[in-house]
Structure 1
Amino acid sequence: MDELLRQATAILRGMWQRRWLGIIVAWVVGAASVAAVLAIPDKYEASARIFVDTQSILRPLMAGLVTQPNVDQQVMMLSRTLITRPNVEKLIRMADLDLKIDSKSERDALAETLMSSLKINNTSRDNIYTLSYRDVQPEQAKRVVQSLVSIFVESNLGDSRKDSESARKFLDKEIAGYEKKLEEAEARLKEFKLRNLANETSEGKDHFSRMSTAGALLEQSRLELREAEQSRDALKRQLLGEEPVLLPEATQEPIAGVSIPEIDSRIDALQRNMDAMLQRFTEKHPDVVSTRRLIKELEVQKQEEIVARRKSALANPTASVNSSPVYQQLKVSLSETEARIAALLTRVAEYQARYDRLKSAIALVPQLEAEFTQLNRDYEINKKNYEQLVQRRESASLGSEMDNAAGVDFRLIDPPRASPKPVAPNRTLFLPLTMLLALIAGVAVTFAASQLRPVFFDARALREACGLPLLGTVSLLADEARKGRERKDLLRFAAACISFVGVYGAGLLVFFVLSARTA
């Protein structure tokens, strides 16, 4: 500790020996720094505030129908990438900053200066952006900020339109490609169906289902054919006398199967006419009564005719059998049965041929089904992608129209305005710092001089510096004249220090007073 104190004391005594050099350097540095601060040109700041409204009632209403980008993120990214070289060069032209530029190097230097001077600040919560710029000319700073506001708004609209057009062109290109694929797939399906037209059905059944259906129809047709043949044989036996045909006797009541067509037709016509009249009239209506009477008369006439025919049949049995209505009806039934048998034979032959054809083609069914499944799968995949792309194109078009109707709204809260007073440099802060800088420079120069040309104040420091043995020391006794000179020198140094601080203080006071008056 004592050693450190001794070294510090030696350094301070050496600096004291160079005190006049330090005060001179402090005066020079102080004057130069004050002149430099006063020579800095005044800069005026122009600024504007913009509110970016990204909220719209259409966006929640169209949610799920259109593709909606993150507008807040887009605007934030735009604000961060706005100050680029192309935009700055455009700003130079818009603000007429290139009127006094003669070379490309000057233009590049101006662009670099603008890129470092332009400021865009925002509050992420409120979407309020502040654009500012400082220049020695307030009107020029205002023009720069006005141009920057215009570029800010136009860049967002241009990027939005560019993105929409790019997306639409990409979707149109992809849709055209899938349309071509669908046409090719449809052509392959058409060719396959035409080549295998015999194996196609309108019901959409597979081969085995069709074969099962054909077998069932064949068995049913065979059963119907056997039934018709049995019916035909029974009718033939009756007609050939193998089975007796019983005729009603004259004393019996009319049987239900005996009819007289001409009388029965009249009775049926009157019955239908009476049913129609009963819907409008009552039982006692004259027309209803008259119709009932005619029906009874016809029934009596029919009964008499049947009795007469029975008597004739008993008198001539052979003729009665051939002219019997039952016999005639059996012959008609036999003819109808034979016609039905012929039709059923044709049907059975057709179903048999169809069943045999399906059975012979059963070996090709797995191959055809595999080929059809592959073709259909490719077609369905392309069709699905095509429909999705068309849907997304419509969604993109609707989204573009929605952006045009309810896009981002830029509201100029504070128009570009230049400050009436300079905002830089801050001489109120810089001038006191020049005084501190001058004092630091004086102390540093004094310390450096004391180290470059050291002065030894005791024998120990000299012996340590030289590394030689010290034989002895010679002391100096100061007389009154020397002491007087030292006091005067101390007073002059104190006066110099006081005048330095006083001049700085007076200058700062005058500056503050003038600044307060101009404010």
Structure 2
Amino acid sequence: MVNGSIWDKQNIIRIAIQRKGLILAVFILTVMLTVGMNALLPKVYEAETTVRIKQPKALANSLLADQPVEGGNTKQLMQSNTEILKSRTVAQAVIAKLPQDRYAAISPNDILRRISTSSINGEILKIKVQGKTPEEAQTIATALMDAFVQRITGLSRREQKAAREFIGERLLEAKAELETAESAFEDYKREQKIVSPADETKVMVENLAGMKKANDENTTALAAAAAKLSNIREQLNRQKQGVLADNQLIQQQKNKLAELEGEKAGLLAKYTADHPQVQSVQASIDKIKVDLNEEISRVVNGDAPSTNHLRQGLLENEIQVGAELSTASARKTATEQIIASDQQDLAKIPAKEHGLAIVERDVTVAREKYVMLAKRHEEARINEVMQPLEVQVIDEPDASPSPVQPKKTLNLLLGAVIGLVSGIGLAVLGEHVQKKMATEEDVKRYLDLPVIGMVPDFTDEPRPGYIRYRNKLRAVFKWLSGQG
């Protein structure tokens, strides 16, 4: 019986002193169990490596130089590469690189469970791999880095190959168009007995050729963006999840970007790219692109949270490429209107000069298109065989000679705390289940009355089973605390 709250601090201190034997016994038992657990648990070693995840400079940036840069979100790029690192494809490649005589029974899930990652400063990825021995941890970590870099290289080269094939087809078409245009130009000069048009006509032809070139480049960018969007949506469909719709602010920024691109195309028909008005419009375009990318990242990471970082990256790219398509479409409409206007002006000059201007313009446009595509094709061919620099290994895998698990000191400390708390809890419980006052000190403590005398209990009647059980339990508590 306890006077007042059983968890009163003074009561707990009194009980702890009174039943110190029980507390010490529980404490020692718990510590011994912890020591035994530390001895029985298998040792785990860890190898650590550090890589740098860089923003990739893909071929799309050269084809779509005026478009928003894909994957501008460094955090999203880090998360996507982490998902690739922990993919089953990479795990299977790791197993293929390990010695089969020692790791024949290991599975991809075993590999994935051993890997842990942490990001530092947005670009640095620290990778830890666990093993039963330092040699095993380092072997798996080395195989993991090789497989990871090969996977990134394979994905990058697959993109570059698709771009090279696409541009190669356009290059063949451009070569055929150039040959046809050159042949028509020579035939016209020979048939009409005219060598060159007047100076005014030349200026008109040059302006028209420049707009034609811009239109052809924009057509190529539009086709590349459409192909990228189709590929992104195909990957999203394979994940069987919906596509994030543009919000109102994104739509407004896309419309504003399209208007500015149309205005820029009109100015380029009159001025050079260094003209103040052109530069002012370009500055507005650049600002809109930055704002658009920030809003896209906010929508994807905030309004559509997901643990699937690859999917988040695809959603962000889908919105960005959609903006590219809107911009390219607006620019195409503006340039086509300017081309139509220039062609009307050309129609007003004399027939011979008009015909010569047309065939000369066709040759100029076809030649510039061919040169542009030939340059892009060479870039794509080089990028396809180059080692991508998106992932750079900073520190090679290195295993510590000391095990990281079990954490013996921490386990021992926790065991001591648990033993102490458990001992005090059992002592308080033992005091709580004691229902009678067995000593003179108990009478004075609980009743605050003087003790006149003690009457011995001579009854020997049989008691119910639960009472005998309670008395035995009380006797055990007293014996452990040194009072029995």
TM-score relative to the length of structure 1: 0.39
TM-score relative to the length of structure 2: 0.41
Higher radius of gyration, 1 or 2: 1
